Structure 1
Amino acid sequence: MRSISVTMSVTLDGVVQGLGRPDEDTRGGFAHGGWGTRYQDDVMAREMAQGMSRPGDMLFGRRTWEDFTTAWSRREDGNPFTTHLNAATKYVASTTLDDAEAWQNSALLRGDAEKTVAELKARPGNDLSVIGSASLVHTLHAAGLVDHYTLLIHPLTLGEGRRLFEGPAPLTEFTLTGCVTTTRGVLITRYDRR
């Protein structure tokens, strides 16, 4: 059985919305987009590169897949993240997409994410990693399908926005397996489900 690992940037008050750009995710009138960019440093880049260096497939929600398709699929800059993202098999869970042809090596998981991802996880193959995709992560966490979290906990609060753990979910315990502090005060924490 494959494992599912989630990597997510989060504020101290649990917000995950709009990390990278002001226009990334303005749902609900969210006006704090781009909050994470000022916290990037060499330590964070090194830690994220280690995660990307492991073989595996990727899992996206529709919204994040479309955003990443625009940002990464046409880049040819020698960036190791670009190389990894374009080479990896990318599964996109969606009830609205007709196909996943816009980005090479992408495959559509059409239908209910809880069911389609559970079926994918049960099949032999590479482990799965999720970057972003908060709505998908909510669904997978509530279904007990997430095995590992890497949380980049940023030292700020926003007071509004979509949060990582919202809505009903089962009691789930995790073990802290690692923690690195960046030069900008971000805690990169790793947790395994018990």
Structure 2
Amino acid sequence: MRSISATMFMTLDGVVQGLGRPDEDTRGGFTHGGWGAAYNDEVLGAEMGKGMAQSGAMLFGRRTWEDFIGVWASATDGNPFSTHMNAARKYVVSSSLADAGAWENSVLLRNVDDVAALDEELSIIGSAALVRSLHAAGLIDVYTLVIHPLTLGTGARLFDGPAPVTEFELTSSVTTPKGVIVATYGRVTSR
């Protein structure tokens, strides 16, 4: 049975753009890249490790997949995240890529319908545009929102436009020593 979970790193004002480094995503003149680095700690690392330990394949939008290639595909540092990222089956959704051969174990999908046709557990890290499309199609089952205690005022937000009414319930939450809230929500299927 297909299940899709999305992990989204965001600010209090909902910005999901450019978490990792200054040059990660400068679209729209975004100048606040790298905002998440100051909030990393052991508790956050352990929480993200729990997600990596779950079975299933990974799902990416093209931009995130290409960015992750530069970080993970050639990593030989012995980091368990590197090992996991390279060994996992990775689906990339893109209408513009010619193939997915740039990163081992990657499979190219063309659209949301191709994702809907999959029958396995899938996890997404980032890929906000893809998450918005999957949410609009009613395909996101679980959100893990990693909420950082800052506002940026500008930048792409998780839901920039209208989103369908979908009810979720809090299934777990952890607060890190640096004030990051890791909140997991599961979709309510019926009441």
> Would the TM-score normalized by the shorter structure come out above 0.5?
yes
Q: Name the % identity.
A: 66
C-alpha RMSD of the superposition: 0.7
Report the Cα offset of residue 54 of structure 1. 1.1
Q: TM-score, normalised by structure 1?
A: 0.95
1:143 to 137, 145, 156: 137
Which residue of structure 1 aligns with residue 148 of structure 2?
154
Residue in structure 2 matching 1:131, options 100, 103, 125: 125
**Whole-angstrom distance in 1 between the partners of 2:93 and 2:162:** 20
- Mapping 1:1-194, distance limit 5 Å: 1-110=1-110, 113-120=111-118, 123=119, 125=120, 127-194=121-188
Q: SS of 1:117's equivalent?
A: helix
Query: Do the aligned partners of 1:150 and 1:189 also contact (CA within 8 Å) in 2?
Result: yes
Give ranges in structure 2 of 5+ residues lacking alignment. Answer: none
Q: Which runs of 5+ in 1 are unaligned?
A: none
TM-score by length of 2: 0.97
Q: Deviations over 1:32-61 (max 9, x none)?
A: 000001000000000111110111100000
**Equivalent position SS for 2:183:** strand
2:59 match: secondary structure: strand
Structure 1 contact 143–169 (Cα < 8 Å) conserved: no
* Number of positions where the alignment pairs a residue of Structure 1 with one of Structure 2: 188
SS of equivalent to 1:178:
strand
CA distance in 2, matches of 1:78, 1:3: 30
